Amino acid sequence: MRFVIENFGCQMNDHDMEKMGSVLIDQGHLPGSMDDADIVIVNTCCIREKAEQKFYSLMGRLQHLRRKKGTILGVTGCIAQQEKESIFERLPFIDFSLGPSNIHRIAEAVENATGQVRTSAFGDDGCSPSLLIRPHNTRRGVKGYVTIMKGCNNFCSYCVVPYVRGREESRKSGDVLAEVREMAERGIVDVTLLGQNVNSYNNGNKDLSFPELLSGIDAIPGISRLRFVTSHPKDISPELIACFGTLRTLCESIHLPFQSGSDRILALMNRGYTSSEYLGKVEALKDRCPGIALTADCIVGFPGEEDGDFEATMRLMETVRFDGVFSFIYSARKSTAAAALTGRVPPAVAHERLSRFQKRQRAITLDSNRAMEGTRVEVLVEGQSKNSPDELSGRTRTGKIVNFRGDPGLVYKLVEVDIIKGYANSLRGELPDTPGR
């Protein structure tokens, strides 16, 4: 049968989608399109209200497919986990629902559906076996992702993740290293380690710490680039900071969500740091690794956020000069502590703050891209442009997109590129006439 996986949400979800696709291919199914699919799986995210609304409107449209062609429909991921059995009341036409820790049961769920048997699983099966699925790397060429830990113990007051992804659990370092070695043998050169909170990898376990794991991966022949997401500022240790500029493969970039620049709001968010502690970590990272690219997440309109709090957020953003920030309007999530807080910010005020923030950040991002004009950087070529075959696209070690003209034979290679122009979301480059000029 042919299958399609519609995906919402984070990089963890992208990776879960690859894992499910691999399990289904191993069972003899084939990837398809919406037009010819016999099975449609919707992998969900509930971190913000918008993602949830998009999911329910998609399900409304899929119901017609089901009526017309009898398509098998399944829901996986965080909304499945959040709603548990009650999802079948709201969406009575679906065949299965699996939480994020249960996606290894995807083939069984499809098999059951062919016999009209409904499957549901929302247990916390820990690190095995959903984390142990090794996806075929069909989509991403020489880039690969490895989940090193799952869940989160931080309970930031706005966040639903600890409720839907469960408590933190780390995979054994031996398993992670074996998986990366295997990836390197298959030609993967760029590895991203995934987890809700990778800095607390193996916290309290007698196993490698996170910096030790990074060193272990750094020593694997064939790996050129190593990254990790997501980090919590309170857990960035001096040992981790020392890895930057020391480990050959560790890319000069870090995603470090700050969420707010106001200490009062950070306390209400239960983030466990103040703005000056955050800035201290940023300074230490910049000292250790000049030119490090910093990206972050930020929430505006958290309950009780006043003009002065928002100004503190603007100040923090101006001080750090991030390469990019994902910024969101707060949305109240089921079961979270913040959902019970008073002092809701009127939507018009929250929108106005968000657009001010984004406008200023766009200008800072543009400045930082322009500052790269005239430099020569290493680019991992990821593919050709759809419109013109000799137009290539790749990424710098700092995660910036570079477009340049070159031979399609360079795809998946590491090349040196001269940056000639910085734009809002990408860089324009050209291959040097004389390499090493």
Determine if 162 is a binding residue for ligand SF4 (CB under 6 A).
yes
Determine if 8 is a binding residue for ligand 5AD (CB under 6 A).
no
Q: Please, which residue, 155 or 423, has the CB nearer to ligand SF4?
A: 155
Q: CB-side exposure of 283: number of CA atoms within 13 Å?
A: 8
Site for ligand 5AD in 287-306 (CB under 6 A): 297, 299
CB of 153 to ligand SF4, least distance (A): 8
Determine if 196 is a binding residue for ligand SF4 (CB under 6 A).
yes
Q: 216 is written with which tokens?
A: 């272990």
Q: Identify the H or E element spanning 403.
A: strand 401-405
**Listed ranges 180-188, 198-206, 311-319, 326-334: which one lies at the site for ligand 5AD (CB under 6 A):** 326-334
Determine if 87 is a binding residue for ligand SF4 (CB under 6 A).
no
Determine if 156 is a binding residue for ligand SF4 (CB under 6 A).
yes
Site for ligand SF4 in 333-372 (CB under 6 A): none
Q: Please, which residue, 19 or 165, has the CB nearer to ligand SF4?
A: 165
Residue nearest to ligand 5AD (CB): 297
* Strand runs labelled E in 243-292: 253-255
Q: Please, which residue, 176 or 266, has the CB nearer to ligand SF4?
A: 266
User: Which of 169, 322, 166 lies closest to 259, judged by CA?
Assistant: 322
Helix, strand or coil for residue 428? strand
Determine if 396 is a binding residue for ligand SF4 (CB under 6 A).
no
Q: Which does 173 bind (CB under 5 to 8 A by kind): ligand 5AD, ligand SF4, none?
A: none
Q: 56 is written with which tokens?
A: 């329910």
User: Which of 328, 380, 334 lies closest to 357, judged by CA?
Assistant: 328
Q: Which does 299 bind (CB under 5 to 8 A by kind): ligand SF4, ligand 5AD, none?
A: ligand 5AD
Q: Which does 330 bind (CB under 5 to 8 A by kind): ligand SF4, ligand 5AD, none?
A: ligand 5AD
Q: CB-side exposure of 116: number of CA atoms within 13 Å?
A: 1
- Taking phi over 0 as left and psi of -120 to 50 as alpha, with beta for the rest, 305 belongs to beta
- Burial class from Cβ neighbours inside 10 Å (0-12, 13-18, 19+) for residue 158 reads buried
Q: Which does 232 bind (CB under 5 to 8 A by kind): ligand 5AD, ligand SF4, none?
A: ligand SF4
Number of chain residues interacting with ligand SF4 (CB under 6 A): 10
User: Which of 184, 82, 171 lies closest to 129, judged by CA?
Assistant: 171
Q: Please, which residue, 130 or 200, has the CB nearer to ligand SF4?
A: 200
Instruction: Give me the long-range contacts of 23-31 (CB less than 8 A, separation at least 24).
Output: 23/103, 23/104, 23/106, 23/107, 23/133, 24/106, 24/107, 24/110, 25/136, 26/107, 27/107, 27/110, 27/111, 29/1, 29/2, 29/3, 29/110, 30/1, 30/2, 30/3, 31/2, 31/3, 31/4
Helix, strand or coil for residue 162? helix
**Listed ranges 102-110, 159-167, 346-354, 404-412: which one lies at the site for ligand SF4 (CB under 6 A):** 159-167
Task: Give the binding site for ligand SF4 (CB under 6 A).
Answer: 152, 154-156, 159, 161-162, 196-197, 232
Task: Give the binding site for ligand 5AD (CB under 6 A).
Answer: 47-48, 158-159, 257, 259, 297, 299, 328, 330-331, 333
